[in-house]
Amino acid sequence: MRRRLVLAFGLLLILFLGLAGYVLDRAYTRSVDAAAEERLQLQVYALMGVAEPEGGKFFLPDLEEARFMQINSGLYGFIFDRNGHELWRSPSALTLKLDAAPLLGSKMRPGQTNYGNASAGEQGGLSWASYRTYWEALGQYFYFVVMESTEPRAAEINEFRSTLYLWFGALTVLLSIAQYVFLRWALRPLQQLAQDVSAIESGAQDQLQQHYPSELVPVTENLNLLIKSERERQDHFRSMLGDLAHSLKTPLAVLSTALQEARHQQQFTPEHQRDMAEQLQRMDQIVSYQLKRAVKGNKAVLARPVPVAPVLDKIIGALQKVYHDKATRVLLELAEGVQFYGDESDLMELCGNVLDNAFKYGKSLVQVKAGQNGKALLLEFNDDGNGIAESDRHYVLQRGARADTVKSGQGIGLAVVTEIVSAYGGELQIDCSEWGGASIRIRLG
């Protein structure tokens, strides 16, 4: 994750600084160019100001700019007539070879200045300004042209660029270091989390430590709950497996002795057959009970809420098919939008077992009520059967009762229900319904 963030921020930095550098460079170059054009324009005005026509030529005796007078100084002045004949050139341009055509736009309006760049052999790059004007005294159009070497400008821009690159380079290094340090600091809780998790894996600690930033607390709390419920589940399965193995040992022992006895007596008596059938049935009962006990019981950890109505509809539909002959009437009283925060198959197992008993032992009526209290689901199942004898109720409410101690019939189903209720930290109450049958009230969560 850190590598990704460093990479992302690094790319962003390069992109940002690169773009900023480009924009600054362009802006500076443009301003230098604009200043140069302004300077050329001023020089043109200066030429026009001192130009004196005489005999078809121009004389400029009072030129103030010394660079016009100094040969190859980098600043050159020219005057052309409308046909492009050179009428005057500054002493500085004595040796300058020049193609005048590009400078003299025939479509130029009087008072218009054109700018451009040209190359002039040894003198290197030149930028020029050409101004067309109408001289009333002579009744003619003239072009006043000033050229300036681009070298000083290029040098100025290069110097600016060097400074810019230097500063931006320094900025990049500085920001990269800052970014690395900030990321290390900001991601330290996640690193701590990874260390905590590996410490849990290695068995050095049971839970994630509690000093995480508030943004991470919901994650760590849920992880802790998940770890806890996973551990409970492991314990649950371990004890279940032990329970299963131990409860199978007794019938196995009876089977083994019955077989030994039969071998010893050299005959398979009806008593032997009965004993073996009994033990097989007992083993079957033990296995079904333990299988049913294998509930998930995820509580509300990361659980999506399950709508209760469709689950009840499915179970009731299935049971009405199975107990078709009884034509049981079902009274459903469900609160609006009632939900279960847990595993759907656990809810189905719970409702299936309770309702199976209600359909089986009820005479003709089953009532189901469901309500919600916060995240807790409240269920009530009533029937009009004979009810559960008070002396039997404690069997049912014993959690984790060994399979071989659970009575068959109503007992097994309800023992499984008790397991599920307990896995979700809920409660189960057995009473007598208003019709004299069983009334089972369950709170889940």
Binding site for other proteins (CB under 8 A): 284, 288, 291-292, 314-315, 317-318, 321-322, 324-325, 327, 345, 348-349, 351-353
* Minimum gap (Å) between residue 316 Cβ and other proteins: 10
Tokens 């209600």, residue located: 358
Q: Which is nearer to other proteins, 208 or 354 (CB)?
A: 354
Whether the CB-CB separation of 98 and 80 falls below 8 Å is answered with: no
Reading the block at residue 296, the tokens are: 């998930």
Q: Which is nearer to other proteins, 351 or 444 (CB)?
A: 351
Whether the CB-CB separation of 13 and 172 falls below 8 Å is answered with: yes
From the centroid of its chain, how far is CA 396? 48
- H or E element: which one contains 262? helix 217-265
* Minimum gap (Å) between residue 218 Cβ and other proteins: 31
* Minimum gap (Å) between residue 321 Cβ and other proteins: 5
Q: Which is nearer to other proteins, 216 or 348 (CB)?
A: 348
Reading the block at residue 249, the tokens are: 């040992």
Q: Which residues pair with 341 in a beta bridge?
A: 305
* Minimum gap (Å) between residue 4 Cβ and other proteins: 41
Q: Which is nearer to other proteins, 272 or 296 (CB)?
A: 296
Instruction: Calculate helix-pair angle for 188-201, 151-186, nearest 10 degrees.
Output: 40
Whether the CB-CB separation of 427 and 443 falls below 8 Å is answered with: yes
Q: Which is nearer to other proteins, 183 or 276 (CB)?
A: 276
Q: Which is nearer to other proteins, 133 or 357 (CB)?
A: 357
- Hey, CA dihedral for 63, 64, 69, 72, is it positive or negative? negative
Whether the CB-CB separation of 359 and 338 falls below 8 Å is answered with: no
* Minimum gap (Å) between residue 236 Cβ and other proteins: 17
Helix then strand then coil, % of the chain, to nearest 5: 55, 20, 25
Q: Which is nearer to other proteins, 149 or 298 (CB)?
A: 298
Tokens 């600084």, residue located: 17
Reading the block at residue 108, the tokens are: 């130029």
* Minimum gap (Å) between residue 298 Cβ and other proteins: 15
Q: How far apart are CA 189 and CA 195, in angstroms?
A: 10
Q: Which is nearer to other proteins, 100 or 240 (CB)?
A: 240
* Minimum gap (Å) between residue 297 Cβ and other proteins: 14
Reading the block at residue 317, the tokens are: 């539909």
* Minimum gap (Å) between residue 283 Cβ and other proteins: 9
